[in-house]
Structure 1
Amino acid sequence: MGWNSIRTRLVGEDDSWSARRRAERWAWFTRSFPDLDQMTVVDLGGVPHTWMQSPVHPKHVHVLNIEPLDSDVPDWIETDYADACDLPTAIASRRYDLVFSNSVLEHVGGHERRMRFAENVHKLAGAHWVQTPYRYFPLEPHWVAPGMQFLPVRARATLAQRWPLAHVRSAGVKDALDGVLWTELIDRTQMRYYFPDSHILNERLAGLTKSIIAVKKG
């Protein structure tokens, strides 16, 4: 079996291991908020496609991202260019039923910005679901590389250029450094610090915590 076949089985879009895990997490999320179809949701760092393919559609979803988003969306989805750590006043002053964020907290850029991200989560809604990969799971999830998160920066950048199972292989040294420096996995203690009034859930695989989720139901 070649590397491409292995990568497709692990992180492909349809019936891969990663896709199945995402589907299971999404089912867990919708069970946690049974009134989701009646809620207004702000998605920090997400994409409209996530919600469009969901079997349960909230009353309204506001998707914020610093990357360009597709503007061809249903009328119950709203999109904006916005930094979740530094929201414009027009968005920061709004109130929603639920804040949702999936695999974003590890990319915002260090402790100070994670603090600002968490502060915005608390301001925007009384309920939230904030998921991030767990630092001490043996497999680094972005590059699908064992123990990569514990290596020195230079070694991580080298691996980012060469590891055949990466979601997207880095094009060069600068690209690789950008990727690894903007990816900082956190642990339970940090998650509890940012979300002290939340219940911290453990998403497990083979008995090991794969990701951690801060949940507050309002």
Structure 2
Amino acid sequence: MASQSIRERVVGDGDSWASRRRAERWAWLLRAFPRLDEMTVLDLGGYPSTWIQGDTRPAHVHVVNIEDLDANVPDWIAVDRGDACALPAEIASRRYDLVFSNSVLEHVGGHERRMRFAENVHKLAPAHWVQTPYRYFPVEPHWIAPGMQFMPVRARAAMARRWPLAHVRSANLRDALDGVLWTELVDKTQMRYYFPDSVIRSERVLGLTKSLIAVKP
């Protein structure tokens, strides 16, 4: 279908626009943390593939995701199931060199849980890199839909069910509501509130801020 082809060109895993942006963001990460290969990393809400496919391998990566992940990973990666806002005690008691998170903050479920997420980021490592899409970029990034984040909830759910560029079409209204209610983009003021001691970097597209990155080297 034409819509699938368009989505693949925009956000697919191959030579898409999003893949090129991810490569640029990875280069930013390496410039911010030039000794990444010597660091222990906690990845909150991520996937092992991010690190396996990266150009630089940290000393150790611990991936914690609320989903069940494939435990068949290289020996320098560990995976656990856990809520990034309420980590199990055995993880919350550890310390790392860097906390990393990519496009997770907007999915944790409201201000109070974003505060808990940020508290864990600050507590578990002296350095962090936390990226999230920017609320006021004109295209909602999860559905590739212009202005969708500003619509009433019911309208967002209707678009989630019908918009041709959606990654997965919602089977029914409840599934659509589940998707849109668990996606809440944030702005710069909120990021500065959650990460007051960080540098808030803007990732720009055509001069417009597309995503925000809280960096504490």
Shorter-chain TM-score category? over 0.9
Name the counterpart of 2:35: 35
Are 1:160 and 2:185 counterparts? no
Are 1:102 and 2:98 counterparts? no
Distance 2:112 2:4 in 1: 38
Name the counterpart of 2:112: 112
Name the SS for the 1:201 alignment partner.
Answer: strand
Name the counterpart of 1:67: 67
Amino acid at match of 1:209: T
Are 1:57 and 2:51 counterparts? no
Amino acid at match of 1:135: R
Name the SS for the 1:202 alignment partner.
Answer: strand
Distance 2:101 2:25 in 1: 12
Name the counterpart of 1:8: 8
Name the counterpart of 2:134: 134
Distance 1:167 1:51 in 2: 23
Name the SS for the 1:96 alignment partner.
Answer: coil
Quote the offset at 1:35 in angstroms: 0.1
Name the counterpart of 2:201: 201
Name the SS for the 2:126 alignment partner.
Answer: strand
Please list every run of 5 or more consecutive structure 1 residues that lacks an aligned counterpart in the other structure. Answer: none
Quote the offset at 1:14 in angstroms: 0.5
- Contact 1:48/1:77, CA 8 A, preserved across alignment: yes
Name the counterpart of 2:93: 93
- Contact 1:39/1:60, CA 8 A, preserved across alignment: yes
Quote the offset at 1:31 in angstroms: 1.5
Name the SS for the 2:204 alignment partner.
Answer: strand
Name the SS for the 2:97 alignment partner.
Answer: strand
Quote the offset at 1:120 in angstroms: 0.3
- Contact 1:203/1:210, CA 8 A, preserved across alignment: yes
Quote the offset at 1:155 in angstroms: 0.1
Q: CA RMSD in A?
A: 0.8
- Contact 1:11/1:167, CA 8 A, preserved across alignment: no
TM-score normalised by length of structure 2: 0.98
Please list every run of 5 or more consecutive structure 2 residues that lacks an aligned counterpart in the other structure. Answer: none
Quote the offset at 1:167 in angstroms: 1.8
Name the counterpart of 2:188: 188
Quote the offset at 1:119 in angstroms: 0.2
Distance 2:7 2:166 in 1: 8
Are 1:45 and 2:45 counterparts? yes
Distance 2:201 2:169 in 1: 31
Name the counterpart of 1:17: 17
4+ long deviations beyond 3 Å = none
| Structure 1 residues 12-47: Cα deviation after superposition (integer angstroms, max 9, x where no partner) | 110111111111111111121000000000000000
Amino acid at match of 1:150: F
Name the counterpart of 2:124: 124
Name the SS for the 2:167 alignment partner.
Answer: coil
Aligned sequence identity (%): 76
Name the SS for the 1:215 alignment partner.
Answer: strand
Amino acid at match of 1:64: V
Quote the offset at 1:70 in angstroms: 1.1
Distance 2:22 2:137 in 1: 16
Distance 2:198 2:157 in 1: 34
Quote the offset at 1:172 in angstroms: 1.3
Amino acid at match of 2:16: S
Name the counterpart of 1:173: 173
Name the SS for the 2:85 alignment partner.
Answer: coil
